[in-house]
Structure 1
Amino acid sequence: MVPAEAGAAGRKQRALARRKAFSLFVKAKEVPAASRCPGGGEGVRWRCCRQAFEELPGIHRHVALHHSGDVGRQEGLDAEPAEAGGSPADVPAAAGGPEISWALPDTSRINHDDPTSKVGEVLLYYCYCEVKDPEKLCAWQKALCQHLHLTGKVRVASEGINGTVGGSKVATSLYIEVMLSQPLFKNILCQEDFKSSAGGAHCFPDLRVGVFKEIVPMGIDPKIVSYKETGIHLSPQEFHREVEQYLSQASQGQSDTILLDCRNFYESKIGQFQGCLAPDIRKFSYFPSYIDENLELFKDKRVLMYCTGGIRCERGSAYLRSKAVCREVYQLKGGIHKYLEEFPDGFYRGKLFVFDDRYAICSNEDIISACRYCGALWDQYKLCSSQHCRQLVLTCPSCCNKGLTACCPVCQEKELKVTSRASGQTLKEECECTRRRPRVPIEHVSQRMLDTGKD
């Protein structure tokens, strides 16, 4: 038999074995007639993951989506590679369709009764590395998250992966185990790279996994500004000592250091390091322009950078270093997340903004922001009630009760006008909040960042 024929025969044999394993797995999930639910009819029924299925296509889709790895292990096989962008749910497994190539974990320990249970956690992580086939990694990542009933957002690019996912503690633990054992990441990622907080699958509306040019949207081609040119990483302990020294010197007007917040204005508004410079920018993609417009501010300075989990500092510090104006550039390893684990009552005050339905997590009792309307201390965000805008707004319960639920007077007025508009016909518009704010603010060397009590 020629090699081509042997290869074809081998693939056919594996496909047949796969179909057989799939059929046996489904057969094992049959419910005996005597134990079927009353009124269930005479048709065959199946139970799997504490769910009932009355039709064959239903159980087939479930097994293809959630038990691809189990079927493969049953015959001692790995699943076949998936087509770019595909997932197990796209092709019936019984027909021998393409599937994800990397094994999926056993999920028998996971309670699937309530995937939206609020008893769980949210994981935040990233890994910069060379990814030769982002589409394949994306497909596997999507299958893995679906298999574990995780929700959230995962960005894949040729420069690495960036994820924020939520689910049960068992599911997130399995997710970490799989990620740490994955050949692509096992020599780069470690347990400490995963930042966790109380939450769950309910913190996200759905699961979104996709391939992008950058794993954090800075708007600069990774080939031009690479994560490989990043600043010097400081552990939370080292960063704490640096901030302590900086605040001591700054109080005497002797500091040559800038403590730079790499996040957006709505994040720094509710929580920040004392004495920081928090740029009044709406998107991280504005950060490079902010640096360009304020280069003089950073000339011959030592810069201490920080962000939520560390990923924005990777590219942000690389961009700042590429300008060759700073004396030194440092960044907080693991971001605010890791710092607060060790110093909950340290130099970071207020809440930590997170990009999910929680909006913020708390480590100390300080409130550094105020209600948009009455000025009372308040730091719990809500979405602007005007559908044409939908920005975040700080409005206290008292003002909410008065009907002040939009981000600005312009939006408040427009909200009253859209109530009679047909559903689905609202348009996103620029409101007073964004129109009055310069896209890229110019900082003055008046050292406003040294005002440790600013809100």
Structure 2
Amino acid sequence: MTDKQISRKLRRQAIHSLLHRHKNGEDEWSCCETRFSTPDAIGRHLNACHSEVIQAKEDAQRLLMNSPKAEIGQDTLKQRRVAKGDSDPIRLECSCDMESSMVILFYSYGAVPDPASLAKEHLAWEKEGLTGKVRIASEGINGTLAGNRDSIQAYIDWLLTMPCMETHRNKDQKDFFKPSRGCRHVFVDLSVKLVEEICPLGRPEQVTLEQLSQPRHAKAKLSPESFHEQLKREDVVLLDTRNYYESRIGHFEGAIKPAIRKFSRFPDYVDRNKESLEGKTILTYCTGGIRCEKATAYMRQALSDETDIMMLDGGIHNYLEWWGKQSKEKKPLWQGKNYVFDARQGLGVPVATAEEAKVSHCSICQVPWDTYLKCASVNCHLLVLYCTDCLEKGHIAYCCDDCGNGIRGTDGVCGCERKRRLEEMSLLAL
């Protein structure tokens, strides 16, 4: 293949990934507050207005193609995968056989002697058809991967041979790797990054690997069944440690849902609300458990010893797996969907006959709705709930009137984001 042919191939791949990212429906794409009804139309727009994004994607693919694994430097592994302000697709359109594929979600807090080498070895799994995101640091590994079942199992078998996974070799693989329904198309590609924290709380000097390894920390992890029983108590404080857009489409009944936009804001939220949280019995939960590990470790430092702090081991994912096996006579304490950071958006109770109640509503007509779109404003990347009927009536998915009218305040944000910030700063009254 000539250099010219290689360049054309890489450019086609870059444009294809962007088309996937901006797709809203079967024959609809949106970008820069404009809708497009054909791939050619959105393609022309991307080439004309976002050539730098296409070039960055093309350059990244060429770097990986031309660089032997051993020569890929740490700086490359620390770079952003997509342009700042861009993001992965949040809609899935494919015809894959889901029975032959799966998605796994896992993490391990444990010393990784050579994070860079482990990261480089992960790059080879793209050739096996795996997609997803893997984050590696000296404190451990955090990953969510998708692909056919044989490739996923081969990856699991390989990863468990790594020294940093020694304590997990005898654990139930299903509980640890948290398999779910999905295919390789829930992600655009395989992203492997070297990071300081595999889950960015932003306080690495306060929440260390040593603290996460203490027996006291391990004992405060509740199985789904124990967590369910604790939820029935009237004297517990139930705290969602996820972001506001996650808890908006699904949460446990009676949970406190901080209006934070990223996990690194959680410590400040705790600090502001110390007076209300002191001395309480606090139950925490998140998607798969990784955020609760650091959230509970931080709270044990920030709050008094009289405060009893526990977490849901394995997160919402393992709770829903457990709940799916229970008698229908039991009262469900989970409401809505478990938000996931891929094109599927959310997963419900894994029972075919279960009726998944929607806890959120369309921003326009207020009908129960739980599927997100991205705000159509070029200056905004917030997620917004717009139902199919409203979109068919010609409504454009803006998060608020400010974005619809192209308005930004002196703080540089729209009214919707300003309202969220005020809610985040409000104090708890327990």
Q: Supply the AA of the counterpart residue of 1:243.
A: L
Q: Supply the AA of the counterpart residue of 2:296.
A: S
CA distance in 2, matches of 1:212, 1:444: 33
- SS of 2:105's partner is strand
Runs (5+) with no aligned partner, structure 1: 1-52, 59-86, 100-114, 416-428, 448-455
How do 1:237-316 residues align onto structure 2 when only pairs under 5 Å count? 237-244=225-232, 246=233, 250=234, 255=235, 257-316=236-295
Partner of 1:356: 342
Q: Supply the AA of the counterpart residue of 1:332.
A: L
Decide whether aligned partners of structure 1 residues 342 and 203 sit closer, same or farther in structure 2, where only a CA change above 3 A counts: same
CA distance in 1, matches of 2:299, 2:255: 17
CA distance in 2, matches of 1:435, 1:91: 45
Decide whether aligned partners of structure 1 residues 401 and 280 sit closer, same or farther in structure 2, where only a CA change above 3 A counts: same
Q: What's the offset of the Cα at 1:98? A: 6.6
How do 1:52-201 residues align onto structure 2 when only pairs under 5 Å count? 89-91=65-67, 117=96, 119=98, 120-143=101-124, 145-189=125-169, 190=171, 191=173, 192-201=175-184
TM-score of the aligned structures, taking structure 1 as reference length: 0.66
Partner of 1:4: none
**1:378, 1:396 within 8 Å by CA — same for their partners in 2?**
yes
Partner of 1:227: 212
Runs (5+) with no aligned partner, structure 2: 7-62, 73-93, 350-354
Structure 1 residue 204 corresponds to structure 2 residue 187? yes
Decide whether aligned partners of structure 1 residues 296 and 147 sit closer, same or farther in structure 2, where only a CA change above 3 A counts: same
Decide whether aligned partners of structure 1 residues 273 and 92 sit closer, same or farther in structure 2, where only a CA change above 3 A counts: closer
Decide whether aligned partners of structure 1 residues 196 and 224 sit closer, same or farther in structure 2, where only a CA change above 3 A counts: closer
Decide whether aligned partners of structure 1 residues 98 and 404 sit closer, same or farther in structure 2, where only a CA change above 3 A counts: closer
Instruction: Tell me the percent identity.
Output: 38
Q: Supply the AA of the counterpart residue of 1:221.
A: P
Q: What's the offset of the Cα at 1:116? A: 8.9
**2:207, 2:298 within 8 Å by CA — same for their partners in 1?**
no
Partner of 1:378: 369
CA distance in 2, matches of 1:185, 1:261: 28
Decide whether aligned partners of structure 1 residues 222 and 359 sit closer, same or farther in structure 2, where only a CA change above 3 A counts: farther
Partner of 2:380: 389
Q: Supply the AA of the counterpart residue of 2:212.
A: Y
CA distance in 1, matches of 2:206, 2:284: 22
How do 1:378-417 residues align onto structure 2 when only pairs under 5 Å count? 378-402=369-393, 403-414=395-406
Q: What's the offset of the Cα at 1:182? A: 2.5
**1:152, 1:166 within 8 Å by CA — same for their partners in 2?**
yes
**1:128, 1:161 within 8 Å by CA — same for their partners in 2?**
yes
Q: Supply the AA of the counterpart residue of 1:306.
A: Y
| Residue in structure 1 matching 2:196, options 205, 213, 217 | 213
Partner of 2:425: 441
Decide whether aligned partners of structure 1 residues 117 and 297 sit closer, same or farther in structure 2, where only a CA change above 3 A counts: same
**1:118, 1:202 within 8 Å by CA — same for their partners in 2?**
no
Deviations 1:143-194 (A, max 9, x none): 2x21321111111001000001111122112111112232331333531211
Q: What's the offset of the Cα at 1:354? A: 0.4
Q: Supply the AA of the counterpart residue of 1:315.
A: K
Q: What's the offset of the Cα at 1:54? A: 11
CA distance in 2, matches of 1:88, 1:208: 11
**2:237, 2:282 within 8 Å by CA — same for their partners in 1?**
yes
- SS of 1:199's partner is coil
Q: Which has the higher contact order (CA 8 A, sep 6+)?
A: 2
Partner of 2:53: none
Q: Supply the AA of the counterpart residue of 1:275.
A: G
Between 1:134-143 and 1:209-218, the stretch displaced more is 134-143
Decide whether aligned partners of structure 1 residues 316 and 92 sit closer, same or farther in structure 2, where only a CA change above 3 A counts: closer
- Deviating above 6 A after TM superposition, structure 1's stretches of 4 or more consecutive aligned residues are none
- SS of 2:231's partner is helix
Partner of 2:52: none
Aligned residue pairs, count: 328
Partner of 2:41: none
Q: Supply the AA of the counterpart residue of 2:294.
A: R
- SS of 2:311's partner is strand
Decide whether aligned partners of structure 1 residues 118 and 153 sit closer, same or farther in structure 2, where only a CA change above 3 A counts: farther
Partner of 1:432: 415
CA distance in 1, matches of 2:68, 2:198: 31
**1:127, 1:161 within 8 Å by CA — same for their partners in 2?**
yes
CA distance in 2, matches of 1:187, 1:361: 29
TM-score of the aligned structures, taking structure 2 as reference length: 0.70
Deviations 1:380-402 (A, max 9, x none): 11111222212111011222123
**1:116, 1:202 within 8 Å by CA — same for their partners in 2?**
no
Q: What's the offset of the Cα at 1:223? A: 5.6
CA distance in 1, matches of 2:239, 2:201: 16
- CA RMSD for the aligned pairs? 3.0
Q: What's the offset of the Cα at 1:438? A: 2.2
**2:338, 2:348 within 8 Å by CA — same for their partners in 1?**
yes
CA distance in 1, matches of 2:135, 2:414: 29
CA distance in 2, matches of 1:227, 1:118: 39
Structure 1 residue 342 corresponds to structure 2 residue 316? no
Decide whether aligned partners of structure 1 residues 354 and 142 sit closer, same or farther in structure 2, where only a CA change above 3 A counts: same
CA distance in 1, matches of 2:401, 2:370: 20
Q: What's the offset of the Cα at 1:376? A: 1.2
- SS of 1:279's partner is coil
Q: Supply the AA of the counterpart residue of 1:358.
A: R
Q: What's the offset of the Cα at 1:198? A: 0.9
Structure 1 residue 368 corresponds to structure 2 residue 348? no
- SS of 1:411's partner is helix
**1:281, 1:441 within 8 Å by CA — same for their partners in 2?**
no
Q: What's the offset of the Cα at 1:268? A: 0.6
CA distance in 2, matches of 1:408, 1:88: 40
Decide whether aligned partners of structure 1 residues 118 and 444 sit closer, same or farther in structure 2, where only a CA change above 3 A counts: same
